[in-house]
Amino acid sequence: MMVGWLTPPLNNRPHQAFIQEPHNPISLKASGFILLCLLFGACGSTNHIFFDIPAGKAEKTLEEFVVQSSVEVVYERREVEGVRTNPVYGKMSKVEALKTMLAGTNLELSVDPPSGAIAIHPK
Protein backbone atom coordinates (compact mmCIF):
# COMPACT_ATOMS: atom_id res chain seq x y z
CA MET A 1 0.00 0.00 0.00
CA MET A 2 1.33 3.43 -0.89
CA VAL A 3 0.82 6.56 1.18
CA GLY A 4 0.47 9.93 -0.47
CA TRP A 5 0.02 13.55 0.58
CA LEU A 6 -0.04 17.00 -0.95
CA THR A 7 2.21 19.87 -0.02
CA PRO A 8 0.78 23.39 0.19
CA PRO A 9 1.44 25.61 -2.82
CA LEU A 10 4.65 27.62 -2.61
CA ASN A 11 5.20 30.87 -4.50
CA ASN A 12 2.00 30.39 -6.50
CA ARG A 13 3.26 27.08 -7.89
CA PRO A 14 0.78 24.23 -8.24
CA HIS A 15 0.56 21.50 -5.61
CA GLN A 16 3.12 18.74 -5.81
CA ALA A 17 2.18 15.19 -4.91
CA PHE A 18 4.59 12.95 -3.02
CA ILE A 19 4.24 9.22 -2.66
CA GLN A 20 6.06 7.24 -0.03
CA GLU A 21 6.20 3.64 1.06
CA PRO A 22 4.82 2.97 4.55
CA HIS A 23 7.36 3.18 7.38
CA ASN A 24 8.66 0.20 9.27
CA PRO A 25 6.82 0.31 12.66
CA ILE A 26 9.95 -0.75 14.54
CA SER A 27 12.03 2.07 13.07
CA LEU A 28 9.23 4.52 13.95
CA LYS A 29 9.31 3.36 17.58
CA ALA A 30 13.10 3.64 17.69
CA SER A 31 12.93 7.12 16.16
CA GLY A 32 10.32 8.13 18.72
CA PHE A 33 12.46 6.85 21.59
CA ILE A 34 15.52 8.71 20.33
CA LEU A 35 13.46 11.90 19.95
CA LEU A 36 12.17 11.60 23.53
CA CYS A 37 15.72 11.05 24.80
CA LEU A 38 16.93 14.16 23.01
CA LEU A 39 14.00 16.30 24.15
CA PHE A 40 13.86 15.22 27.78
CA GLY A 41 17.33 13.87 28.50
CA ALA A 42 15.74 10.56 29.42
CA CYS A 43 18.52 8.28 28.15
CA GLY A 44 20.10 7.53 31.49
CA SER A 45 22.22 9.70 33.69
CA THR A 46 25.11 9.91 31.23
CA ASN A 47 23.97 13.40 30.22
CA HIS A 48 26.63 15.52 31.88
CA ILE A 49 26.34 19.28 32.00
CA PHE A 50 28.56 21.96 33.50
CA PHE A 51 27.45 23.31 36.88
CA ASP A 52 28.68 26.41 38.67
CA ILE A 53 26.67 26.76 41.88
CA PRO A 54 28.30 28.34 44.93
CA ALA A 55 27.67 27.13 48.47
CA GLY A 56 24.75 28.84 50.12
CA LYS A 57 21.24 28.64 51.45
CA ALA A 58 19.32 25.69 50.02
CA GLU A 59 16.42 27.93 48.98
CA LYS A 60 18.76 29.80 46.62
CA THR A 61 21.05 26.97 45.51
CA LEU A 62 18.17 24.66 44.61
CA GLU A 63 16.66 27.44 42.49
CA GLU A 64 20.03 27.87 40.76
CA PHE A 65 20.24 24.11 40.18
CA VAL A 66 16.83 24.21 38.47
CA VAL A 67 17.99 27.06 36.22
CA GLN A 68 21.26 25.39 35.24
CA SER A 69 19.89 21.87 34.79
CA SER A 70 16.46 22.67 33.28
CA VAL A 71 15.01 20.02 35.60
CA GLU A 72 12.10 20.51 37.96
CA VAL A 73 12.80 19.62 41.59
CA VAL A 74 10.03 19.13 44.13
CA TYR A 75 10.60 20.21 47.74
CA GLU A 76 8.85 22.00 50.56
CA ARG A 77 10.44 25.37 51.16
CA ARG A 78 10.06 25.09 54.95
CA GLU A 79 12.03 21.81 54.91
CA VAL A 80 15.04 23.37 53.17
CA GLU A 81 15.08 26.74 54.99
CA GLY A 82 18.23 27.26 57.03
CA VAL A 83 20.11 24.41 55.34
CA ARG A 84 23.49 25.37 53.89
CA THR A 85 24.46 23.40 50.78
CA ASN A 86 27.85 22.61 49.27
CA PRO A 87 29.24 24.21 46.10
CA VAL A 88 28.80 22.32 42.85
CA TYR A 89 31.35 23.01 40.14
CA GLY A 90 32.21 20.98 37.08
CA LYS A 91 30.74 18.67 34.49
CA MET A 92 28.51 15.96 35.97
CA SER A 93 25.08 14.39 35.80
CA LYS A 94 22.13 16.15 37.38
CA VAL A 95 21.82 13.52 40.10
CA GLU A 96 25.57 13.70 40.88
CA ALA A 97 25.30 17.48 41.15
CA LEU A 98 22.40 17.28 43.61
CA LYS A 99 24.14 14.59 45.68
CA THR A 100 27.25 16.79 45.87
CA MET A 101 25.14 19.79 46.84
CA LEU A 102 23.29 17.92 49.60
CA ALA A 103 26.23 15.89 51.02
CA GLY A 104 26.59 16.41 54.76
CA THR A 105 23.19 18.08 55.13
CA ASN A 106 19.99 16.69 56.62
CA LEU A 107 18.49 16.59 53.09
CA GLU A 108 18.47 13.79 50.55
CA LEU A 109 17.06 13.29 47.09
CA SER A 110 14.75 10.69 45.64
CA VAL A 111 14.38 9.96 41.95
CA ASP A 112 11.25 8.31 40.58
CA PRO A 113 12.65 5.92 37.91
CA PRO A 114 9.63 5.82 35.59
CA SER A 115 9.19 9.59 35.36
CA GLY A 116 12.65 10.84 36.36
CA ALA A 117 11.03 13.26 38.83
CA ILE A 118 13.37 14.50 41.56
CA ALA A 119 12.24 15.24 45.13
CA ILE A 120 14.26 16.72 47.99
CA HIS A 121 13.25 15.82 51.55
CA PRO A 122 14.74 15.48 55.05
CA LYS A 123 16.63 12.25 55.84
pLDDT tens figures, 74-114: 888 889 999 999 999 999 999 999 999 999 999 999 888 87
Q: Which SS3 state, helix, strand or coil, does residue 38 take?
A: helix
**Which pLDDT value is given to residue 3?**
37
pLDDT of residue 97: 94
SS3 state of residue 91: strand
pLDDT in tens, 17-64: 444 444 444 444 445 545 444 445 444 445 789 999 999 999 999 999
> What are the boundaries of each domain within the chain?
3-40, 44-122
Provide the pLDDT for residue 11: 52
pTM of the model: 0.61
pLDDT bin (cut points 50, 70, 90) of residue 12 is low
With beta carbons less than 8 A apart as the criterion, state whether 75 and 121 touch.
yes
pLDDT of residue 117: 79
- Give me the CATH code for the 44-122 domain, please: 3.55.50.30
Contact of 84 with 60, CB cutoff 8 Å: no
Tell me the C-alpha distance between 24 and 114, whole Å: 27
Helices of type H across the chain: 25-40, 58-69, 77-80, 94-102
The Cβ of residue 96 has, within 10 Å, a number of other Cβ atoms equal to 15
The mean pLDDT value of the chain amounts to 74
